[in-house]
Amino acid sequence: MSPPPLPKEKALTPGSRVDGYELVSRLAVGGMAEVYLARALGTGELVAFKRILPQHAQSDEFIQMFLDEAQLASTLCHPNLVRVYDMGTHAGSYYFTMEYVRGWDLRAIQQAARQQGRPLSIENALSIVMGAAAGLHHAHEQVDDNGQPLNIVHRDVSPANVLVTREGAVKVVDFGIAKAATRNAQTQVGTLKGKISYMSPEQCLAESVDRRSDVFALGIVLYELTTSARPFQGDNEISIWHKITHGAAPPPAALIEGYPAGLQRIVMKALQRNRSERFATAKDLQVALEELARSDALDVTSECLGRTMRSLFGDRDADAGAAYESIAVLQGEVRPRRRKGRALLIGAAAVLLAGGLVVQQGGGTENRRSNFDLPSSRGSVAPAPPVGPDAGSPVRVDQPAAALPAPSPRPRSSARSSARSSPAPRREKQHRSLGPRESSPSWNPDAPLPP
């Protein structure tokens, strides 16, 4: 049943009042939704206020996905999940409010650690993944009023959707593309939703997914936090897709000498291509990490993690806009600018499956670090140089556009050259300076595709 149509929407501005909330500022805006910081009238509590953008407020499909997200998230109540409080309509638009988290997502945390030459300690990495695993397990275990499993799967576990507060609390956010048995807006067959670099093999193949898909994605996050590299790398989405579906992640010890054997066993088990060989639940992954922390006497408390956050960011306020950037995208649908690219990816993936094309995987030990002492609260070492699509190039990020190398001119045929005695000079292609989200001129898996 389609949601009821609403009257034409009015614009919202800071200071506007919506039911029992007063909008303070806009935190983030995506392709289909926006998020405001709002204050509850009466109590003064700060909340995040999410609503559909005006241009999509009359779309039954977007509205249904929006309501599905709110209804699903409102059933979840756990310290490691961002809570949804209520939902409603105002001036022609649906909205819902959720917990306002004063913190940073893992992308911002990793960037700050790299810039300061202070990688996260092994205690911090384990603390973050253990907290995320606890929250995901709570979601996976949900049942309906009749006691039947809801079969919730997040499907977008990635650094953008894991937040850490100044006090060291870990929060998983954004169930916008989550799969659940009760959802009304279902994913179409052959549609890829999520970030390719953090997808499980079965999700890449558009097969049915269960909780073990989230375990695989969380294993990628753990791998990245403890090695400063992604386990599946390539020049483009097709290459990464093929490595996830047909290859195997290199053992962390192949990148870092002295990587703890116990931690490597946990990471590699979470990243098994065959889902039956992974941890059966996120809780099993959490317990394995807790046992490792006990055996190695590691401090995985929230206080230890909070000290790291305060040390990295000082007195700086949490970048709420960046933390809520991914939430502002109505995740139930691929961004309009990415549709063409994802369609090409699905078509190319089908060709790879049918033809059995083998993509050579980068290997060897040229990126191996020697004399490695895994970072801990008692001492840290500089992170490994990034490799793959995030590795960058000899061109610096702050290098002016004029200093960038110009592309080689396209060769002309001899017949055409002879026919034109004085060809017009070829117009040089202009290079733009790289922005903060683009570490190199090469492909970036988190950046939107060109229109």
188 contacts: CB under 8 Å, gap ≥ 6: none
User: What is the C-alpha separation between 222 and 100, in angstroms, rounded?
Assistant: 25
User: What is the C-alpha separation between 439 and 451, in angstroms, rounded?
Assistant: 20
Task: Pull the structure tokens for residue 57.
Answer: 């407020």
User: What is the C-alpha separation between 319 and 315, in angstroms, rounded?
Assistant: 12
Beta-bridge partners for 171: 163
Q: Which of 242, 228, 248, 159 has its CA nearest to residue 195?
A: 159
**What is the C-alpha R_g of the chain?**
23
User: What is the C-alpha separation between 134 and 127, in angstroms, rounded?
Assistant: 11
Beta-strand pair 93-99/84-90 = antiparallel
Q: Maximum distance among all alpha carbons in the chain?
A: 83
Residue written as token pair 């910081």:
37
User: What is the C-alpha separation between 71 and 84, in angstroms, rounded?
Assistant: 9
Task: Pull the structure tokens for residue 341.
Answer: 């690219």
Phi, psi (degrees; rounded to nearest 5) at 277: -95, 0
Q: What is the DSSP letter of 351?
A: H
Residues in the chain: 451
Residue 208 C-alpha from the chain's centroid:
20
Beta sheet of 170-172, edge-to-edge order = 103-105, 162-165, 170-172
Active site residue 156: yes
Indicate which residue of 68, 156, 214, 390 is catalytic. 156
Q: What is the dihedral of CA 322, 324, 329, 330, to 10 degrees?
A: 170
Distances (CA, A) of 389 to 231, 232, 341: 12, 10, 17
Say which amino acid occupies 77. C
Residue written as token pair 């990495």:
125
Q: What is the dihedral of CA 331, 334, 337, 338, to 10 degrees?
A: 120
Which sequence positions are flagged as catalytic? 156
